[in-house]
Amino acid sequence: MQRALGLFAGLFLIVIMAVSGPAGAATPQCGDGTGQKATGKPIPLGSVTSMSGLGSFKEGSDAVAAYFACLNDNGGIHGRPVVYHAEDDQSKIDVAAQAAKKLIDDEGVYALIGSTSFIECVANADYYLKSNVLDIGAGVAPQCFQSKNIG
Q: Give, in order, the Cα–Cα distances in Å from 34 to each of 19, 31, 65, 66, 146.
A: 18, 8, 19, 18, 39
pLDDT band at residue 142, thresholds of 50, 70 and 90?
low
CATH code assigned to 2-19+32-146: 3.40.50.2300
Cα first-last separation, the chain: 24
Q: Give, in order, the Cα–Cα distances in Å from 92 to each of 29, 97, 117.
A: 37, 9, 10
pLDDT band at residue 44, thresholds of 50, 70 and 90?
very high
DSSP notation for 2-68: HHHHHHHHHHHHHHHHHHH--TT-SS---TTS-SS---SS-EEEEEEE--SSS---HHHHHHHHHHH
Reduced to 3 states (helix: H, G, I; strand: E, B; else coil), residue 132 is: coil
CB contact burial 63-91 (16+ within 10 A = b; e otherwise)? bbbebbeebbbbbbeeebbbebbbbbbbb
Mean pLDDT of the chain: 81
pLDDT digits (tens, 9 = 90+) for 92-131: 999 999 999 999 999 999 999 988 888 888 889 889 999 9
pLDDT band at residue 27, thresholds of 50, 70 and 90?
low
Section 20-36 average pLDDT: 67
pTM for this entry: 0.75
